[in-house]
């Protein structure tokens, strides 16, 4: 209605410009053309929908739309010429004042009808093409989000058992040596498991909550290592409210103990650092030890899951690396974007 209404206004405007406003036949011819155009363009749309033209490959869509446009332009041009003849509205040749040959009128009307209907179909085609592209993009984004969600759930399903088995091994080492401490260790493990169960459905948790889990874990490990394990914290209190992936810091601490402290007869230091650097929340776990090539840096599920998780959650906006910062000190450093 909007398209054909605009077409009517444009024709009336040019009628004023060229002084055809007093020609009654002009208005009758315009009324016939608009009526035919409305009816045939609606019928043309029904044909396009019924033939599933917009569901075909792009090259076939264009070919079908051109053929359908040509067919309906011919119908419109022929019908218009016939009705002009029936109602004695045929246009006259300006030079001779005589009626124009019927076949010339049909060809002229068909030509102009093809142009108008081609514009109509082009708008119709572009509208649905853009809408279809947007739907496909939304479906792709939903699919990617679903895949990421499934991958994160799979990673989490591995992280919790991985941590539990290591913790149980620590408790087992205490049972015969010191039953009292073993009972305390069970209490510590209970606190850790309760916290992890509460956060396993979340993608992010406040850093303070993650830090409390780490403190419980280190208290548990301190019972096993005793004087061989020294723990230090360097925490900027402003970072406590920042969201972080659950169990990620605990995984780094666990790795530091497994590959650092437990391999040294005299033990060593675990230092947990949290601070802001530029626009990043920087988490670091330092431990006494040495890197013996890349295999030590990335072996096991814990560190590989850390890399996978930050890639899924932050893409290339986050980074993770393990370096030898001193002859006897290794650092695992994680940088994630600051959430305001």
Query: In which band, very low, low, confident or very high, does the pLDDT at 298 lie, cut at 50, 70 and 90?
Result: very low
> Quick one: tokens of 9?
């206004």
- CATH architecture of the domain with residue range 176-337: 2-Layer Sandwich (3.30)
What are the boundaries of each domain within the chain? 2-140, 176-337
- Residue 114: name the closest of 66, 81, 63 by CA: 66
Nearest-Å Rg of the Cα atoms of the chain is 38
Instruction: In whole angstroms, give the CA distance from residue 69 to residue 90.
Output: 25
The predicted pLDDT at position 207 comes to 94
CA distance readout (Å), 39 to 50, 74, 87, 264: 17, 14, 19, 88
The predicted-structure confidence for 100-132, as pLDDT tens digits, reads as follows 778 888 999 999 999 999 999 999 999 988 888
How far out from the chain centre does Cα 36 lie?
Answer: 46
The predicted pLDDT at position 33 comes to 93
The pTM (predicted TM-score) of the whole model is 0.53
The predicted pLDDT at position 134 comes to 86
The predicted pLDDT at position 295 comes to 39
- What are the DSSP E strand ranges found in 165-223? 205-206
Instruction: In whole angstroms, give the CA distance from residue 209 to residue 199.
Output: 9
Q: Which residue has the higher pLDDT, 243 or 304?
A: 243
> What three-state secondary structure class fits 56?
coil
């Amino acid at each position: 209605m909007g398209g054909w209404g605009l077409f009517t206004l444009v024709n009336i405007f040019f009628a004023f410009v060229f002084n055809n406003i007093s020609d009654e036949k002009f208005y009758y011819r315009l009324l016939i053309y608009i009526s035919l155009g409305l009816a045939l363009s609606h019928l043309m749309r029904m044909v396009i929908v019924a033939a599933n033209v917009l569901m075909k490959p792009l090259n076939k869509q264009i070919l079908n739309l051109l053929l359908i446009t040509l067919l309906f332009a011919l119908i419109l041009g022929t019908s218009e010429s016939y009705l002009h003849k029936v109602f004695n509205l045929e246009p006259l040749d300006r030079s001779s004042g005589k009626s124009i040959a019927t076949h010339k009128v049909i060809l002229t009307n068909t030509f102009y009808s093809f142009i108008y209907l081609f514009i109509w179909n082009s708008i119709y085609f572009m509208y649905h093409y853009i809408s279809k592209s947007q739907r496909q993009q939304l479906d792709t984004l939903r699919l990617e989000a679903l895949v990421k969600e499934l991958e994160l759930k799979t990673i989490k399903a591995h992280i919790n058992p991985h941590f539990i088995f290591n913790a149980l091994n620590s408790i087992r080492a205490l049972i015969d040596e010191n039953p009292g401490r073993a009972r305390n260790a069970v209490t510590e493990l209970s606190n850790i498991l309760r916290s992890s169960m509460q956060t396993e459905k979340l993608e992010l948790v406040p850093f303070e909550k993650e830090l409390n889990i780490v403190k419980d874990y280190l208290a548990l490990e301190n019972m096993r290592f005793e004087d061989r394990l020294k723990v230090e914290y360097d925490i900027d209190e402003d970072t406590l409210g920042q969201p972080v992936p659950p169990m990620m810091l605990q995984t780094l601490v666990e790795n530091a103990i497994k590959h650092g402290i437990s391999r040294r007869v005299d033990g060593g230091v675990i230092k947990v650092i949290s601070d802001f650097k530029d626009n990043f929340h920087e988490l670091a776990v330092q431990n006494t030890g040495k890197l013996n090539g890349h295999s030590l840096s990335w072996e096991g599920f814990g560190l590989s899951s850390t890399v996978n998780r930050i890639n899924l959650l932050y893409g290339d906006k986050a980074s993770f690396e393990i370096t030898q910062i001193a002859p006897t000190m290794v650092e695992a450093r994680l940088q994630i974007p600051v959430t305001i």
